[in-house]
Chains A and B, each alone.
Chain A
Amino acid sequence: MYIIGIDVGGTNTDVALIKDDVVVATGKVPTDHDNLAESTAAALECILDTYSGQESLKLHLSTTLCTNTIIEGKGEPTAVLAVPGPGMRIEDLGLGFAVQILEGSVDHRGREVAGISISEVHDALKAASAEGTAALAIVGKFSHRNPAQELAIEEVAKNAYPEFRHITLGHRLSGRPNFPRRLSTSYLNAGVAKTQARFVDMIQRVMVRGKDIGPVFVLKADGGTMTLEDSLIRPVETILSGPAASIMGARALTAYPKENAVIVDIGGTTTDIAVQIGGEAVFQRQGAEIAGHRTLVPALFARSIGLGGDSEIRVLSEEADSGTARLEIGPKRAGIPAALGGSRATPTDAAVTLGLASIGDVERARKAVAIIGVELGYGIEEAARAIIDAFTNKLTKEIEDTYAYLESRPVYTVSELLASPDIRPKAIIGLGGPAHVFIPKAAEAIGLAWEVLPRYQEANAIGSGASRPTAAVTLHADTALGTITVPEMDYVGKLRTKRLFDLEKARTDARQWAYKKGRSLGITSLEDIVIIEEESFNMVRGFYTTGRIFTIRAQVRPDVRRVRAAKIGGRSQ
Chain B
Amino acid sequence: MRESKHKVGLIFFPAFDWAISPDHPEREERLLYTRDQIMEEGLFDIPGIEEFRPAIASDAQINRTHICVPSTSEVITESHRIAAGGTITAADLVLNGEVDRSFALLRPPGHHAMRVVHGSRGFCVVNNEAIMVEHIRHTYGPNLRIAIVDTDAHHGDGTQDIFYNDPGVLHISLHQDGRTLYPGSGFMNERGGPAAYGQTINVPLPPGTGDEGILYVLEHLVLPILAEFEPDVIVNAAGQDNHYTDPLTNMNFTAQGYARLTELLSPDIVVLEGGYSIEGALPYVNAGLILALAGLDYSAAREPDWSEDKVKQSPRVTEAVKGIVGQLQRMWSTRHDVDLGAVFGTGRVFERRRQIYYDTDGIMEEQLEHIRLCPNCSGWRSIYSGATRGLGRATLIAAVLIPWHCCPQCRREAENRHDANAAESRFRHVYLQDVEKDVFIGS
Contact = CB atoms under 8 A, between A and B. Distances in A.
- The answer to whether A and B come from one shared complex is yes
A538 B39 CA distance: 20
Interface string B296-319: 110111111110000000000000
A21 B82 CA distance: 49
Interface stretch (B130-138, B279-287, B388-396): B279-287
A413 interface: yes
B369 interface: no
A94 B35 CA distance: 22
A353 B13 CA distance: 53
A549 B278 CA distance: 14
Interface string A101-129: 00001011100011000000000000000
Given A109-B33, A415-B17, A89 B297 contact: yes
Contacts of B17: 413-415
B51 interface: yes
A339 B300 CA distance: 60
B140 interface: no
Interface stretch (B41-49, B90-98, B141-149, B340-348): B41-49
A243 interface: no
Interface stretch (A151-159, A173-181, A269-277, A300-308): A173-181
A543 B247 CA distance: 11
Contact of A88 (B39, B43, B303): B43
Given A93-B2, A417-B53, A542-B247, A105 B304 contact: yes
Interface stretch (B22-30, B62-70, B418-426, B428-436): B22-30
B304 A540 contact: no
Interface stretch (A71-79, A321-329, A380-388, A404-412): A404-412
Interface in A63-94: 85-89, 92-94
A177 B33 CA distance: 12
B86 to A, nearest CB: 10
Contacts of A549: 29, 32
A287 B279 CA distance: 27
B304 A408 contact: no
B41 A417 contact: no
Contacts of B216: none
A203 B12 CA distance: 48
A358 to B, nearest CB: 45
B438 interface: no
A543 to B, nearest CB: 5
B291 interface: yes
A451 B305 CA distance: 60
Contact of A86 (B32, B43, B302): B302
Contact of A414 (B36, B52, B79): B79
Interface string A393-428: 000000000000000111111110110000000000
A177 B1 contact: no
A86 B301 contact: yes
Contact of A410 (B27, B33, B53): B53
A355 B35 CA distance: 56
A424 B273 CA distance: 36
Nearest to A544: B23
A294 interface: yes
Contact of B32 (A142, A178, A537): A537
Contact of B51 (A85, A141, A410): A410
Contact of B284 (A86, A114, A409): A86
Contacts, number: 124
B441 to A, nearest CB: 28
A540 B18 contact: no
A286 interface: yes
Contacts of A98: none
A545 interface: yes
Given A417-B82, A537-B29, A549-B32, A113 B40 contact: no
The B contact surface, by secondary structure, is loop
A417 B304 contact: no
A539 interface: yes
Contact of B40 (A177, A412, A539, A542): A177
Interface string A544-567: 110001000000000000000000
A535 interface: yes
A177 B23 contact: no
Contacts of A542: 247
B110 interface: no
A542 to B, nearest CB: 7
Given A86-B304, A113-B305, A286-B45, A412 B35 contact: yes
A107 B301 contact: no
Category for how many chain A residues contact B:
35 or more
A113 B27 CA distance: 26
Contacts of B79: 414
B133 to A, nearest CB: 23
B14 interface: yes
Interface in A174-190: 177-181
Contact of A141 (B23, B27, B35, B40): B40
A179 B37 CA distance: 10
A93 B28 contact: no
B299 A89 contact: yes
B296 A413 contact: no
Contacts of A410: 12-13, 51-53
A88 B56 contact: no
Nearest to A88: B41
B218 interface: no
Given A414-B17, A418-B78, A87 B2 contact: no
Contacts of B22: 538, 540, 545
Interface string A280-322: 0000001000000010000000000000000000000000000
A237 B119 CA distance: 53
B54 interface: yes
A178 B42 contact: yes
Nearest to A142: B40
B15 interface: yes
B16 A412 contact: yes
A108 B287 CA distance: 13
B42 A93 contact: yes
Contact of B29 (A179, A540, A544): A540
Contacts of B296: 88, 92
B2 A108 contact: no
Contacts of B52: 408, 410
A109 B29 CA distance: 13
Given A86-B300, A412-B14, A539 B33 contact: no
Contacts of B291: 88
A540 B51 CA distance: 29
A177 B12 CA distance: 16
A94 B53 CA distance: 27
A178 B39 contact: yes
Nearest to A90: B300
Nearest to A181: B42
A142 B14 CA distance: 20
Interface string A507-539: 000000000000000000000000000010111
Interface of B: 1-2, 12-18, 22-23, 27-29, 32-33, 35-37, 39-43, 45, 51-54, 56, 78-79, 82, 247, 279, 283-284, 287, 291, 296-297, 299-306
20 contacts: A86-B301, A86-B304, A87-B287, A88-B43, A89-B297, A108-B37, A108-B40, A178-B39, A180-B42, A408-B52, A412-B16, A413-B18, A414-B15, A414-B79, A417-B53, A417-B56, A538-B22, A538-B28, A539-B29, A540-B22
Closest 9 CB pairs of A and B: A180-B42, A113-B304, A177-B39, A108-B36, A413-B17, A177-B40, A92-B2, A94-B1, A540-B23
Interface of A: 85-89, 92-94, 105, 107-109, 113-114, 141-142, 177-181, 286, 294, 408-415, 417-418, 535, 537-540, 542-545, 549
Given A86-B303, A92-B297, A414-B78, 18 more contacts: A88-B43, A88-B287, A92-B296, A93-B2, A141-B40, A178-B39, A180-B42, A180-B45, A181-B45, A294-B42, A412-B16, A413-B15, A414-B79, A415-B17, A417-B54, A417-B56, A542-B247, A549-B29
